[in-house]
Amino acid sequence: MTPAFPTARTPNPLDAPPLRWGVLAPGRIAAAFVTAVSRYTRQRVVAVGSRSLDRAQSFAAAHGIERAVGSYAALVDDPAVDVVYIASPHSEHATQAQLAISAGKPVLVEKAFARNAAEAQRVAAAARDAGVPAMEAMWTRFLPQTDVIAQLLADGALGEVTTVLADHGQYFTHDPQSRLFAPALAGGALLDLGVYPISFASFVLGAPDAVVATGSLTDAGVDAQVSMTLVTGSAQACLNTTLLARTPTTASISGTTGSLEISGPFYAPATLALTTADGRSVRPPDPIAGHLGLCHEAAHLAQLIADGATESPLLPLDETVRTLRTIDEIRRQVGVTYPGE
């Protein structure tokens, strides 16, 4: 008998009630977000804000957005904007999220949610005090495949989980002006790439009891490569992230009665291969492929807002803070501190 995959319970993103979105800080990931939302949801991106009006206007023209403004304050104060998507460098997330929250606007904040756990906690507290929804844009959590994995774990399909493996490495030419290499912009592999395997380990195992990390730094002092072991009870997560090489970006979960392999990139719609004593079964990627899967996080937040909820049950703010607390400890061990911390 071949092991079976459960059916994903993830709603069709087209079912989420349409809201009017404002994009704060246009760039590459913002372009991917707008494309996904426009193609696979009923959400409408109606405004884009940047410190550069020319940049905002250029982005608006490229994506058919009706309004462009030359300040973040003008974007969050726009009465025609229902919800704000923040796509700026990590160093700016907390300040800009609080700006939107103070204007009464729900926020979807790109990963990593903030530079550190203290900043994330302040944003979470501000959102809760204001009764405004806030959510990290860790898009993997909202993909249909993630719900399938959650059901397999809840059903004990793998037995007692003992080992989680995950990596995320990309090669980037060293550029001191790039946000990835700039300490002032909270650069480095961890917040941009490593947050994916760390969040994945949190999803599978929960909060770690112990963290062991080693890594290498760039000349500017941000993390170039980090290897980590997170220990939760009797289970271990072995994770790696790097700016120095393109790695397989795969993940796996192994337990006493089975294992699940997730093809690369594991954080995007991917192939799942389930192996148990009954045999091996393969689930192909979801039909909404690649970064178009960003549509699910937008639809999820829109539904939460329509339902009057203030936090996501799939990724609560406490877990977002906890993940950054883990990253804080990893940074402490490898010797990374951002200016002003």
- CATH H-level, domain 141-286+316-334: superfamily: Dihydrodipicolinate Reductase; domain 2 (3.30.360.10)
Contact assessment for residue 160 and residue 137, using Cβ atoms and an 8 Å cutoff: no
Q: Domain-by-domain residue ranges, the chain? A: 13-139, 141-286+316-334
pLDDT in tens, the chain (341 residues): 688 899 999 999 999 999 999 999 999 999 999 999 999 999 999 999 999 999 999 999 999 999 999 999 999 999 999 999 999 999 999 999 999 999 999 999 999 999 999 999 999 999 999 999 999 999 999 999 999 999 999 999 999 999 999 999 999 998 888 999 999 999 999 999 999 999 999 999 999 999 999 999 999 999 999 999 999 999 999 999 999 999 999 999 999 999 999 999 999 999 999 999 889 999 999 999 999 999 999 999 999 999 999 999 999 999 999 999 999 999 999 999 999 88
Examine domains 13-139 and 141-286+316-334 and report if their fold is the same. no
Predicted local distance difference test score (pLDDT) of residue 3 = 82
Q: Is 258 helix (H, G, I), strand (E, B) or coil?
A: strand
Predicted local distance difference test score (pLDDT) of residue 175 = 87
Say how far residue 123 (Cα) sits from the centre of its chain. Answer: 16
Predicted local distance difference test score (pLDDT) of residue 303 = 98
Look at strands 251-255 and 223-232 and give their pairing: unpaired
Give the amino acid at 144.
Answer: P
DSSP state of 14: G
| Distance (Å, whole) CA 172 – CA 178 | 10
**Among candidate residues 153, 177, 339, the one with its CA nearest the CA of residue 258:** 153
Catalytic residue among 111, 168, 283, 331: 111
Our answer to whether residue 105 is catalytic in this structure is: no
Predicted local distance difference test score (pLDDT) of residue 129 = 97
Q: Is 198 helix (H, G, I), strand (E, B) or coil?
A: helix
Contact assessment for residue 215 and residue 223, using Cβ atoms and an 8 Å cutoff: yes
> Beta-strand (E) ranges in the chain?
20-24, 44-49, 67-69, 83-86, 107-110, 134-137, 161-169, 210-217, 223-232, 235-242, 251-255, 258-262, 272-276, 279-283
13-139 belongs to which CATH class? alpha beta
Predicted local distance difference test score (pLDDT) of residue 174 = 87
Q: Is 20 helix (H, G, I), strand (E, B) or coil?
A: strand
Rounded to 10 degrees, the C-alpha dihedral 226/230/236/238 comes to -10
| Distance (Å, whole) CA 130 – CA 317 | 14
Q: Before 125, cis peptide (omega within 30)?
A: no
Q: Is 77 helix (H, G, I), strand (E, B) or coil?
A: coil
DSSP state of 223: E
Q: Which two tokens stand for residue 27?
A: 């760039």
